[in-house]
Amino acid sequence: MTVTDTSTRVATPSTVIDGVGASATRPDGVPKADGSFVYSSDEYHDGSLWGVTLRSPHPRARILGIDTSRAEGLDGVRCVLTHRDVPGSATYGMKIYDQPVLAFDEVRYQGEPVAVVAATHPEIARRACELVAVEYEELVPNTDPERSLTGTVEGLPGGGLARHVRIRHGDVGAARARADVVIEGRWEMGTQDPAFLGPESGLAVPLGDGGVELYVSCQNLHLDQQQVADCLGLPLDKVRLVLSGVGGAFGGKEDLNVHIHACMLALRTGRPVRMVYSREESFFGHVHRHPAIADIELGATRDGRLVFTKVRLVLDGGAYTSTSQVVIANGCYFAAGAYHVVDVEIDGYATYTNNPPCGAMRGFGAVQSCYAIESAMDRLAAELDLHPLELRMRNAIGEGDVLPTGQPVDGPAPVQEILSYLRDLPLPPDSDHFAADMRARPGGVGNVTRGEGIRRGVGYALGMKAIGFSGGMDDTCTARVTVWIRDGEPVAEVYCAGPELGQGVVTLEAQIARTELGVRTVELRDKDTDIAESGASSASRQSWMTAGAVAGACGLVRDEILARAAAVLGRFDGELTLDGPEIRGRDGRPLVSVADVLGPESVSHAFTYRHRPTEPVDDERGQGNAHVAFAYAAHRAVVDVDVELGLVRVVEMATAQDVGKAMNPVAVEGQIEGGTVQGLGLAVMEELQITDGRIRNPSFTDYLIPTMLDVPPMPMKIFEFPHPDAPYGLNGVGEPPNLSSTPAILNALRQATGLELPRAPVRPADLISPTAPGDGGAGLARADQQGDPR
Amino acid sequence: MDNLGRDSAVLRPSSWRGAVLLRSEYPDASPICGGTDLMVDINFARARPSGLLDLTSVQGIDSWELTDGGRTVRIGAGVSFTTIIEKLSGVCPALAQAARTVGSPQIRNRGTVAGNLATASPAGDSHPVLMACWARVEVESVRGPRLIDIDDFFVGPKRSALAPDELIRAVLIPAATGAQQFAKVGPRNAMVIATTSFALNLDVAGRRVGTGIGSAGPTPLRARAAEQMLEEAMADRWDEPGTVDESLARRFGALVAEAASPIDDVRGSAEYRRHALAVLGRRCLTWALADLSREAAA
């Protein structure tokens, strides 16, 4: 059954205000704007202590001893805990328990937690951390993923290889003979940070029964609860998680951060414990986007038809597994891009090193592979002397085409429509740099050019990604909806654990209840682990899954209200419809009010939603129907580059995306703009610079994210081709705009400069054209020939 | 207790005299005005001063005035970058341009030139302009006041000639008499620490050329050879600069780049910085000469 089957029995949409499809305002919007919203860093409890983490200064070292006595002696310190104090499992992890709660034998990345302190004041706790004497024997860190993928590096799990994904479809060897043109290249991507503004934080409150309650910002309450309980050595029912205000996540809050530490401190001291990472600590306290090396070979006929695609993708996962095996799989699934090509060979490697751990981040591996394949497609277009958009349109995937994993594409695949929009959209006018405000020029307020050295470029990219959890996972989401009468009117409460990260799932929950029940007032209950799981707010799945669960629960509530009304009225409930406060008959006449039917009673139902089943791919050839659904987006980037200074102004980012159904059009636009900007950052500035396993720029002073002056206008086309399997026909929205944004800008920069630009993000030195006049025509030698420590 | 530590004190004088006395009495207390540098260090637990000498209530330091018959601008230690942008873009155009590149609007509302000087970072946005304009720093202690030439002020990375008991009271900057430029390179189009920056001052009245280089050495630097070369080239054309000479601008840029002694760091390579300075030197001179010619023609 699809959830919308019963929707014939709900009020017509015209009588519903702020229902599905309306740009309803966020319930948390005003509090977030006026400062009253409680983020996890604001959580407070009388008598709470402060917890602070001591972290390893070394990327790799053996721990010879830890002496906490001096720290414990500091006035105001309530406890100092090390690995010896972890009550349950010594390790945790999203897929594999391999990450120590507190390091016990060896530290494997810079910033790994070694001890935690609870004190009456955060500064006392920080000073106590400095008094913890950890004796380290420094070891040489392994930081080269190319070495790790051989699986032979001593001191790393699996010899350094976390997973090798193989996808084989058709016969690349035979196809090569049919190719008129073959291009190849290597494209690299640095490490992006999720750079959420709300740092990791939470409040743990010990309970009288030996249990603990944790108010925390996270992306999956129940998966976190399981790991916390295991490490605390407590049964699940003694560990209650409540979602606190999340100030952004982007995947970086899928792994645990303060959770276990805060609970350990609270249970040991018997006092509530607050923990809030500083901005600098936050860069060490969450996973990053995997840095990537991609080698691609493409073959095509002279008329621009892809003949084969061969990809080798290496993602460095750093010290611990997190979700690396799944990220590399997802990167490989879409490494051939949104193109129809039969003969495909893809090898993906996720590695272990002593670099900072990497895991989930918006796009989940597909960002790296989209960047690589879209860079390769532009090289192929140049080789064929074809317009890059034309090459893409000739090869765009369509419904019924078979993916490299053998799965036929079903559901709408309107790639031609998406690309046509970008083709037909007029280009922005040339800038008059001498007349324009300096803020419109490359370099912005730095006042570095009045038009000198500026070249314009236009670039395109197309992206495709799976929506929801792939590979045979039985993914569920449960919601409970309760209706009762207040002041003569029905009120609905929605209860669902799907984390609100800022994306707006709470807005949708209320919209769906309004549409399904016709109610005006919807209350949203706090999200916690007392209800069954919702799954993670990740994989662009939460709107889909929550909509299924909430609509399903609403349907059960509505059925019971109508059944009760039918009993009161002596009619068949099939004749009745629910219209807000009224129950109407076949002719639309009101027969009885919901208030009269319910009286003082409430009606409450839970519903568990599942998407269609999928299957894992096989190890040998990577074949299988692994995916629930697919989403597509494309970008056209227009850039101005000062080729003497290497500075960039992105002039415009046009984009088109199929969202199935715009459940909340303003929220959809927000997601598309946000994803586009995050991709822009990855193209031109966002890089965690890591040398010998050490992060060199753990601050917002030196890890730069785009400001208002870096963000251009974003003309946008939102297509709504209903997805047949999804509630309301919706599709996932959050990740697709993050895929094609980065390569579109890189392709535009390549067009503007004539440079190959094999690495993202580009730095100013990379963009200086050898033919630019510069300081005498010589240009700047390439950074990689200068022993630059990247 | 706060991040400053158990024994920390916050001293809040309301008069300049009171501030000077407290500075002498508590030399370990960090002076704070805008707090845009110091508070970052305190919040990141990189600095734990034993106390703060809060200058925000000191009367009279948050104003500016024209002195010396209108030939000099005296900018009080508490004057914000926002005020400089709004009020001083006519008399100190390069300083106002540098002020525009400082941080975000909130930072510009709080931050001051005196704070820039006290921190003495080679990346301080106002420093190249102060160098190019031969600014003097008015400081005072219980031992009395003194003026420090900007060329003597910066002695190392984040180190200045300020004595432990001295406070910066004001900055004296000659009013512009010709054309001035300031340009700053960073990988973001706003709110960015300079990868490198350059200021140029064509002082028509003094027949002098002033330069300043930021973020390309242990201290802000002066490109002396570039100044001398240009002064010689300008000797007979200060009043009628004529058309911009491409090769002159290029030679000037090359000398600016030569004056720098940059390092490789997280914000850019030494090589990129030198290259960028050559470009900035050339462009700034081209713009400044064009401005002078326009004025001469008018």
Q: Which domains does chain B have, with CATH numbers?
A: 2-54 (3.30.43), 64-174 (3.30.465.10), 179-293 (3.30.390.50)
Amino acid at A66: I
Is the pLDDT reported for residue A7 higher than 90? Answer: no
Cα A65 to chain centroid, rounded: 38
Q: Is A745 on the interface with B (CB under 8 A)?
A: no
CA distance A118 to A50: 5
Task: Name which of B185, B188, B191 to mutate to probe chain A: the one with the most chain A Cβ atoms within 10 A of its Cβ.
Answer: B188
Q: Which CATH superfamily is domain A41-140+200-278 in?
A: Aldehyde oxidase/xanthine dehydrogenase, a/b hammerhead (3.90.1170.50)
Tokens of A341: 């090509």
Closest CA of chain B from A436, distance in Å: 15
pLDDT at site B7: 59
Is the pLDDT reported for residue A749 higher than 80? Answer: yes
Would you place residue A3 in the very low, low, confident or very high pLDDT band (cuts 50, 70, 90)?
very low
Each residue's pLDDT tens digit, B113-134 = 999 999 999 999 999 999 999 9
Cβ–Cβ under 8 Å, residues A63 and A106: yes
Would you place residue A434 in the very low, low, confident or very high pLDDT band (cuts 50, 70, 90)?
low
Q: Is A770 on the interface with B (CB under 8 A)?
A: no
Task: Name which of A447, A647, A767 to mutate to probe chain B: the one with the most chain B Cβ atoms within 10 A of its Cβ.
Answer: A447
Each residue's pLDDT tens digit, A114-142 = 999 999 999 999 999 999 999 999 999 99
Helix extents (H) in A248-365: 259-269, 279-285, 324-333
Beta bridge partners of A638: A458, A652
CA distance B132 to A556: 76
Residues of B whose CB is below 8 A from A440: none
Name the closest residue on chain A to residue B125, using Cα atoms. Answer: A446
Helix extents (H) in B133-204: 150-153
Is the pLDDT reported for residue A281 higher than 90? Answer: yes
Beta bridge partners of A463: A633
CA distance A512 to A508: 6
Would you place residue B296 in the very low, low, confident or very high pLDDT band (cuts 50, 70, 90)?
confident
Q: Which of A121, A123, A783 sits opposite B269 (nearest CB)?
A: A783
CA distance B34 to B83: 13
Closest CA of chain B from A652, distance in Å: 15
Please compute, for residue A352, the number of CA atoms within 13 A of its CA located in the half-sphere on the CB side: 22
State the Cα angle at A112 between A111 and A113, rounded to 5°. 110
CB burial string B126-154: b at 16+ within 10 A, e below? bbbbbbbbbbbbbbbbeeeeeebebeebb
Residues of B whose CB is below 8 A from A452: 283
Residues of A whose CB is below 8 A from B254: 775-776
User: Mean pLDDT, chain B, as a whole number?
Assistant: 95
- B1 contacts A124? CB cut-off 8 A: yes
CA distance A662 to A703: 34
- A709 contacts B190? CB cut-off 8 A: yes
DSSP states of A375-419: HHHHHHHHHHT--HHHHHHHHB--TTPBPTTSPBP-S---HHHHH
- B43 contacts A763? CB cut-off 8 A: no
Predicted TM-score (pTM) of this structure: 0.96
Looking at domain A6-35+476-610, its CATH architecture is 2-Layer Sandwich (3.30)
CA distance B11 to B161: 24
Kind and range of the H or E run holding B65:
strand B64-67
Q: Do domains A6-35+476-610 and A41-140+200-278 have the same CATH topology?
A: no
Each residue's pLDDT tens digit, B174-184 = 999 999 999 99
Task: Name which of A55, A126, A448, A786 to mutate to probe chain B: the one with the most chain B Cβ atoms within 10 A of its Cβ.
Answer: A448
ω into B145 cis (within 30 of 0): no
Q: Is A688 on the interface with B (CB under 8 A)?
A: no
Name the closest residue on chain A to residue B254, using Cα atoms. Answer: A775
pLDDT at site A495: 98
Is the pLDDT reported for residue B244 higher than 90? Answer: no
Would you place residue A2 in the very low, low, confident or very high pLDDT band (cuts 50, 70, 90)?
very low
Amino acid at A308: F
CA distance A216 to A272: 13
Q: What share of chain B is helix, strand, coil (3-state, %, to 5)?
A: 35, 25, 40
Would you place residue A701 in the very low, low, confident or very high pLDDT band (cuts 50, 70, 90)?
very high
At B206, is the secondary structure helix, strand, or coil? Answer: coil
Q: Which of B2, B97, B275 sits opposite A447 (nearest CB)?
A: B97
Q: Percent of chain A beyond pLDDT 90?
A: 93
pLDDT at site A373: 98
Each residue's pLDDT tens digit, A475-522 = 999 999 999 999 999 999 999 999 999 999 999 999 999 999 999 999
Closest CA of chain A from B278, distance in Å: 6
pLDDT average, residue stretch A344-352: 98
CA distance A761 to A565: 62
Q: Which of A647, A649, A786 sits opposite B271 (nearest CB)?
A: A786
pLDDT at site B242: 83
State the Cα angle at B215 between B214 and B221, rounded to 5°. 45
Closest CA of chain B from A122, distance in Å: 8
Kind and range of the H or E run holding A741:
helix A736-753
Would you place residue A287 in the very low, low, confident or very high pLDDT band (cuts 50, 70, 90)?
very high
Is the pLDDT reported for residue A789 higher than 70? Answer: no
Residues of B whose CB is below 8 A from A786: 269, 271
Between residues 439 and 478 of chain A, which touch chain B (CB distance below 8 Å)?
Answer: 439, 442-450, 452-453
- A789 contacts B185? CB cut-off 8 A: no
- A449 contacts B271? CB cut-off 8 A: no
- A443 contacts B189? CB cut-off 8 A: yes
- Shortest CA distance to B230 belongs to which of B221, B220, B219, B241? B241
pLDDT average, residue stretch A625-654: 97
Q: Which of B3, B45, B266 sits opposite A697 (nearest CB)?
A: B266
- Shortest CA distance to B181 belongs to which of B258, B269, B246, B253? B253
Q: How many CB atoms lie within 10 A of CB B17?
A: 12
- Shortest CA distance to A600 belongs to which of A489, A466, A485, A683? A485
Cβ–Cβ under 8 Å, residues A102 and A82: yes
As a residue count, chain B comes to: 298
Q: How many CB atoms lie within 10 A of CB B15?
A: 12
Question: Under CATH, which number does the domain A425-469+627-790 receive?
Answer: 3.30.365.10
Long-range contacts at A125-129 (CB < 8 A, ≥ 24 apart): A125/A50, A125/A51, A125/A52, A125/A77, A126/A52, A126/B45, A127/A74, A128/A52, A128/A71, A128/A72, A128/A74, A128/A77, A128/A80, A129/A52, A129/A53, A129/A54, A129/A71
Cβ–Cβ under 8 Å, residues B278 and A645: no
At B209, is the secondary structure helix, strand, or coil? Answer: strand
Would you place residue A433 in the very low, low, confident or very high pLDDT band (cuts 50, 70, 90)?
low
pLDDT average, residue stretch A640-666: 98
Is the pLDDT reported for residue A769 higher than 90? Answer: no
Backbone angles phi, psi at A297, to 5 degrees: -130, 130
Q: Which of A121, A645, A706 sits opposite B279 (nearest CB)?
A: A645
Helix extents (H) in chain B: 16-25, 38-43, 81-87, 93-100, 105-110, 113-119, 127-132, 150-153, 224-234, 246-259, 270-297
Q: For chain A, which residues make up each domain, given as ranges?
A: 6-35+476-610, 41-140+200-278, 425-469+627-790
Cβ–Cβ under 8 Å, residues A310 and A372: no
- A684 contacts B190? CB cut-off 8 A: no
- B264 contacts A765? CB cut-off 8 A: no
User: Mean pLDDT, chain A, as a whole number?
Assistant: 94
Beta bridge partners of A351: A161, A316
Each residue's pLDDT tens digit, A85-121 = 999 999 999 999 999 999 999 999 999 999 999 999 9
Q: Percent of chain A beyond pLDDT 70?
A: 95
pLDDT at site A786: 33
Kind and range of the H or E run holding A596:
helix A594-598
Tokens of A421: 């929009």
